[in-house]
A and B are shown apart, each in its own frame.
Chain A
Amino acid sequence: MAWITKNSAGMKVERRSEPYLTPAMRDELTRTVLPRYEQKQGALLPALHMIQHEYAWIPSQAMQEIAEFLGLKAADVLDAASFYEEYWLTPRGEHIISVCRSIACEFCDHKAVTEACKAKLGIEVGETTDDGTFTLIEIECLGSCGTAPAALVNEKLVENATAETISRAIDEARATPHHHNGRH
């Protein structure tokens, strides 16, 4: 999570003319999110969630737009965004499979689940399929220790996961494309 070194100094910001933070998002933030916090920066995590939900990752240009919108320095936004594991600052697959590797899951055979994903998708942990459809990662505790092993397929939790159930969940995800804006 937090302790990763990043190439922030030499960062190149890819630009597009259309803003990532759309007028609808700005409106939503202004109406419902900003009034909740005493300081504007409180809306930073919700804003980042919003961008990631829409585009599946958080482009640098979007971070700059958020900074401008909330009256922050771009560095403040990068500082927070890079700290949290859930935010993707590089593009990832359309669907993300996160297999839990923490204590209960490891000792209730999470390996079988990871191996099934690897075999089905033809990728290693940390990789994305060539067609950009699936990214496979292993993460720490999903809070599903009583029904270990567990995995998240996008936002859906697969409990008591087996090679069969995770394989079915992958098929279901494939059948319901996300169509993130700006990708695919």
Chain B
Amino acid sequence: MPFTPKMTRPILTQRIPTPPYGNPKDRRVISYAAYTASGGYAGLRKAIAMSPDDVVNEVKNSQLRGRGGAGFPCGLKWTFLPKPDANGEGGPRYLAINADESEPGTFKDRLLMDFDPHLVLEGIAICCYACRIQTAYFYIRGEYHHQARVMENAIREAYEHGIFGGTGLFSGASTKNRDTPWKVECFLHRGAGAYICGEETGLLESLEGKRGWPRNKPPFPAIKGLFGKPTIINNVETLAHVPSIIENGAAWFGTMGCESSIKGAPPSYGTKLMGVSGHVERPGVFECDLGIPLRTLVEQYCGGMRKGKKYKGAIPGGVSMGILGPDQFDAELDFDIGRKYNVLGLGTAGPTIFDEDTDMVAVARNIARFFKHESCGQCTPCREGSGWLYQLLSRIEEGNAKSRDLDLALEIATSMGTMSGTTICGLADGNNWAVRTIMNKFRDEFEARVKPTFIPVGITLGGAGLGGTGLQTGVMV
């Protein structure tokens, strides 16, 4: 069935010209003036005229799911914070914005930070109002130098215009249930090159000035997070969706995206930034409805496969998600993808596409090297397993492995990742899913690279005549 888009206009990219709605050559950084002139901060104005609880409910009713990879319902997460007391006070609580976008294949938040920083800041301000948060930390990865400067500049503009700092918008329109002006602080915090700091509790540790070792959960950050205080952690794109949801209502959000085809599963509403990379004619970030088939995305948005080559496989969104095989080109990119196509999930929806000439053993080796490099070293199965897995896959790639190494690699992957409770965070899971699905879906390529294993079998050949010659018997498998 051909895919018909439900979105009628770009939402997240309304100010960032993006095909098919605009030409990337026309992209400019949107200043505060340009942002407000094009209807910006209307969502925030509407929000502060509502009660904080109503704002939370609106987001909850929209069924907005987190865009950072796990797809957890955003509004629900906001309700996990302890209830404020009668004065509307809840003690210090924090918002941490996860802009530590560092998984290979993921580069969609960068588009928002590059060009429309105020859209993100508006989402931050609304979240802080709704959840009674006074301080927001924008945790941006260390390698995003340019983006950090753009965001820093936008935050400064937002302070000057009273979005933050409690001197303008918030102080004038003191919130409905209280007389004192609401004051929100927003600070940029630069990471320093550690993938694990994108894990939410690793991020909190890093904000506290420690090594980014993920924490054991529970307690969850909503109860005990940054500096031991209740903390919400949201992805950049998730927050960028909030202003338009408040402006247009929860029901409007549900007109885009798709229902779940699995009975009882939550829907995948709204649009999504899809960052396509790899062997396509026009890679880049596009905004589409959730549920768009991968083939449609590649053929209609990205100009098809590069040089007319054939599709071979694709990683749905960040290397930890596993791989879609040659027969899964029509997979719908929504939050059900994990249950339907034997991958871990949609992830950040940054498909990396491979053409027919790609060596899948090298793909597996590249991914294993990434996880080995980025394992934080805290849990033994991950720290040790990721290293061994990389060594094994390198050996297979070089042609020095034996057939039994294939099973060994799978066993390492499975035992480091799928057994819950053996590691604190999901990094080992990601490593496992990536390597295991590539090895299973492209098994023949791996088998073609290994030498047979000699298995000794105890048979006596030729009786006494051959006895004592040291001839060993066995089978090659």
* A, B co-complexed: yes
Whether A36 sits at the interface, judged by CB under 8 Å, is yes
Whether A99 sits at the interface, judged by CB under 8 Å, is no
Query: In whole angstroms, how far apart are the Cα atoms of A82 and B105 in the complex?
Result: 26
Q: A143-B107, A147-B283, A155-B145 are in contact. Are A103 and B366 (CB under 8 A)?
A: yes
Q: A1-B195, A85-B194, A145-B275 are in contact. Are A103 and B105 (CB under 8 A)?
A: yes
Whether B90 sits at the interface, judged by CB under 8 Å, is no
Q: Is B211's CB under 8 angstroms from A145's CB?
A: no
Closest residue to A33 on the B side, CB-wise? B187
Q: Is A143's CB under 8 angstroms from B102's CB?
A: yes
Q: Is A3's CB under 8 angstroms from B278's CB?
A: no
Distance between A157 CB and nearest chain B CB, rounded to angstroms? 7
Whether B239 sits at the interface, judged by CB under 8 Å, is no
Residues of A with C-beta under 8 A to B285: 146
Distance between A82 CB and nearest chain B CB, rounded to angstroms? 8
Q: Is A41's CB under 8 angstroms from B102's CB?
A: no
Q: Is B375's CB under 8 angstroms from A45's CB?
A: no
Q: Is B143's CB under 8 angstroms from A106's CB?
A: no
Q: Is A146's CB under 8 angstroms from B192's CB?
A: no
Interface size on B, residues (CB 8 A): 60
Whether A28 sits at the interface, judged by CB under 8 Å, is no
A interface bracket (residues with beta carbon within 8 Å of B): 35 or more
User: Which of B315-340 touch A at CB < 8 Å?
Assistant: 315, 319
Residues of B with C-beta under 8 A to A106: 362, 366
Query: In whole angstroms, how far apart are the Cα atoms of A155 and B148 in the complex?
Result: 11
Q: Is A86's CB under 8 angstroms from B192's CB?
A: yes
Whether A123 sits at the interface, judged by CB under 8 Å, is no
Q: Is B194's CB under 8 angstroms from A143's CB?
A: no
Residues of B with C-beta under 8 A to A39: 208-209, 227
Whether A108 sits at the interface, judged by CB under 8 Å, is yes
Q: Is B196's CB under 8 angstroms from A2's CB?
A: yes
Whether A148 sits at the interface, judged by CB under 8 Å, is yes
Q: Is B104's CB under 8 angstroms from A145's CB?
A: yes
**Most interface-central of B226, B350, B373 (chain A CB within 10 A):** B373
Residues of A with C-beta under 8 A to B226: 38
**Most interface-central of B209, B275, B362, B366 (chain A CB within 10 A):** B209
Whether B402 sits at the interface, judged by CB under 8 Å, is no
Query: In whole angstroms, how far apart are the Cα atoms of A102 and B189 in the complex?
Result: 25
Name 15 interchain pairs, CB-CB below 8 A, sorted by A.
A1-B195, A1-B196, A2-B374, A41-B208, A79-B211, A80-B211, A84-B142, A87-B193, A104-B352, A139-B143, A141-B195, A142-B143, A146-B275, A146-B277, A148-B277
List of 4 A-B pairs having minimum Cβ-Cβ separation, nearest first: A44-B209, A145-B277, A84-B192, A83-B211
